[in-house]
Amino acid sequence: MARRLDTYLQTLISEENFDFYSTVRDFTDNEVAPHILQWERDHELVPESCIRKMGEIGLFGLPIAEEYGGQGGAQTELILMGLAMGYHSQSVAITPGAAISLGAKPLQLCGTEVQKRAHLPDLAAGKRMFVFGLSEPGRGSDAANPEVTAKKVGDDWIISGEKCWSTNAKWASHVIVHAMTDPDGAHAKRSTCFIVPIDAQGVSYVEMSGKRVWEQSSTGSIMFENVHVKDEDVLGELHNGFKVMVTTLNGGRLFIASLALASLAFALDKTRVYAEERIQFDDKSIGRFQRVQDVIIDMDIVLERNLTWLIHLCRLYDENRLSREQAAKVKVDSSRAASELIAMAMEVCGGVACLDEFGLIRHHNDVFVTRVGEGSNFALKDLIVRPLRKG
Ligand SMILES: Cc1cc2nc3c(=O)[nH]c(=O)nc-3n(C[C@H](O)[C@H](O)[C@H](O)COP(=O)(O)OP(=O)(O)OC[C@H]3O[C@@H](n4cnc5c(N)ncnc54)[C@H](O)[C@@H]3O)c2cc1C
């Protein structure tokens, strides 16, 4: 059965891009799909052997320039990876996704030449992984005012505090720490980003327990106890670290939208096939009921509409013309629509949708993260409304 995702992508992207998408789709069909249920039942993170294979097919270097050892690809390729891999598992897809769009990206956007040469080749090869250290136990949406501090003492900066919800913490080589450096500065001009090695003295990590979404993705709390770093570890401008973080999140939000649509694409295929196979009343399929058809039609419309929108925004991103509002809107709309429709898809499938082996419950749970991750949808509306209030 042809995936509806494939049908739409064929009309939206170049042949070269579709070949790349097919490579990641086949990789995921072979390396992830046959194992994901067992990984879930065993509460296992993505195995390191699987991450290594992702590195071997070049996924970690996708949008990194060739001069730094990457594939020199564009945002579209990153999104295609999210769609192809997220179709079976968002939590597997977010592993390279966060490594690229949240870990390596700030370095690509704001790093010095020395920092880029020091890290990007190993990041592109999958030998290192950077973690995006924005969120804290006391600072989620209010991220411009970190409680983690970095104080200048002599030649050193001394970092203290805790980051949480750090995706890929288990595999991290470094953390990009967003820390308060000038509490008396103007709003959003009080913080600085630092590149901190995970094995620096005073850094410790613990995997967060009890998470029932993105189960195969590592999510850690990272503690900093008087960790010493130098001026050359500052990423971007001093006291302008929030800009580094929010600029990075523009691309990240496009990736999150791709995960929401990947889950929707899976749910659509699963539901339309099941609706034809499930026989109830008079030896006929439930696919003949118009209320069932309505759910399937709505999923199909949203998938085609938002894929078209997302691919368009990827092109704007590559041309440096994507606004923060545009990235926020496609993330808000895709995540909200996908989660509402996946809940409806489960209702169409009935009791069987509650079984892990059916696959829908995984996407139902994981799609929730796309509503709160990289800016909760409610908070992002503050951003979206700004141009609407200018008159
Ligand atoms: C699985 C997972 C992985 C993550 N990975 C990372 C990572 O790698 N790095 C990282 O830094 N962070 C990461 N995060 C954190 C994520 O970005 C935050 O959860 C998100 O920013 C929201 O913050 P919060 O959860 O503290 O919610 P809060 O800020 O406490 O907000 C709670 C709720 O309050 C409401 N709200 C908040 N502000 C507003 C507002 N202005 N207007 C209206 N309503 C509002 C919303 O409903 C919101 O959902 C991850 C989170 C999850 C769940």
- Mean pLDDT for 118-128 is 97
Q: Position of tokens 């609706």?
A: 275
Q: Are 179 and 162 in contact (CB under 8 A)?
A: no
Q: Determine if ligand 1 sits within 6 Å of the CB of residue 140.
A: yes
Res. 31: pLDDT tops 80:
yes
Distance separating alpha carbons of residues 37 and 45, to the nearest angstrom: 12
Phi, psi of 32 (to 5 degrees): -115, -55
**Cα 65 to ligand 1 centroid, rounded to whole Å:** 31
**Residue 102: CB within 6 Å of ligand 1?**
yes
> What is d(CA 88, CA 241) in angstroms, rounded to the nearest whole number?
35
Residue 391 in this model has a pLDDT that exceeds 80: no
Q: How far apart are CA 108 and CA 100, in angstroms?
A: 10
Averaged pLDDT for residues 192-220: 97
| 180, amino acid identity | M
Confidence of residue 73 (pLDDT cuts 50, 70, 90): confident
Q: Is 255 in the pocket of ligand 1 (CB under 6 A)?
A: no
pLDDT per position as a tens digit, 38-58: 999 999 999 999 999 999 999
39 lines ligand 1 (CB under 6 A): no
Q: Which two tokens stand for residue 115?
A: 């920092």
User: Over the chain, what is the mean pLDDT?
Assistant: 97
CB of 200 within 6 A of ligand 1: the answer is no
pLDDT score recorded for residue 70: 95
Q: Decide: 379 in ligand 1 pocket, CB within 6 A.
A: yes
Q: With pLDDT > 90 as the criterion, what percentage of the chain qualifies?
A: 99
The rounded Å distance from CA 135 to ligand 1 centre is: 8
Radius of gyration of the chain (CA): 21
Q: Kindly report, residue by residue over 322-370, the tens digit of the pLDDT.
A: 999 999 999 999 999 999 999 999 999 999 999 999 999 999 999 999 9
Tokens matching residue 88: 């079976």
- What the block records as the tokens of 243 is 């800009």
Q: How far is residue 390's CA from residue 330's CA, in Å, rounded to a whole number? A: 21
> DSSP labels for 329-354?
HHHHHHHHHHHHHHHHHHHHHGGGGG
List the structure tokens of 363: 């996407």
Q: How far is the CA of 75 from the centre of ligand 1 (A)?
A: 24
> For residues 178 and 320, what is the distance between their CA atoms, to the nearest angstrom?
24
Nearest CA to ligand 1 atom 39: 379
Percent of the residues in the chain that have a pLDDT greater than 70, as a whole number: 100
Contacts of 222 (CB under 8 A, 6+ apart): 131, 133, 162, 163, 164, 166, 169, 172, 175, 198, 203, 204, 205
Pick from 257, 250, 255, 253: which is nearest to 336 by CA?
257
* Four-residue CA torsion sign, 196, 201, 203, 206: positive
Phi, psi of 105 (to 5 degrees): -60, -45
pLDDT digits (tens, 9 = 90+) for 144-161: 999 999 999 999 999 999
Integer Cα distance of 167 and 373 in angstroms: 11
Give the Å distance between the CA of 374 and the centre of ligand 1.
7
**Ligand 1 pocket test: which of 95, 135, 339 has the largest number of ligand atoms within 8 Å of its C-beta?**
135
CB 194 within 8 A of CB 228: no
- φ, ψ for residue 327 (rounded to 5)? -65, -40
Contact between residue 338 and residue 349 where contact means Cβ atoms under 8 Å apart: no
Q: Is the pLDDT of residue 390 over 90?
A: no
CA of 231 to the centre of ligand 1 (A): 30
Q: 3-class SS at 178? A: strand
Name the residue at shortest CA distance from atom 27 of ligand 1: 140
**pLDDT, average across residues 385-390:** 92
Identify the band that residue 310 occupies on the pLDDT scale cut at 50, 70 and 90: very high
Ligand 1: which residue has its CA nearest to atom 4?
Answer: 165
Q: What is the pTM (predicted TM-score) of this model?
A: 0.98
pLDDT band at 231 (very low <50, low <70, confident <90, very high): very high
List the catalytic residues.
374
Alpha carbon 35 to its chain's center:
21
375 lines ligand 1 (CB under 6 A): yes
DSSP helix/strand/coil, 17 = helix
List alpha helices for 71-184, DSSP H.
75-86, 90-98, 105-110, 113-124
pLDDT digits (tens, 9 = 90+) for 279-299: 999 999 999 999 999 999 999
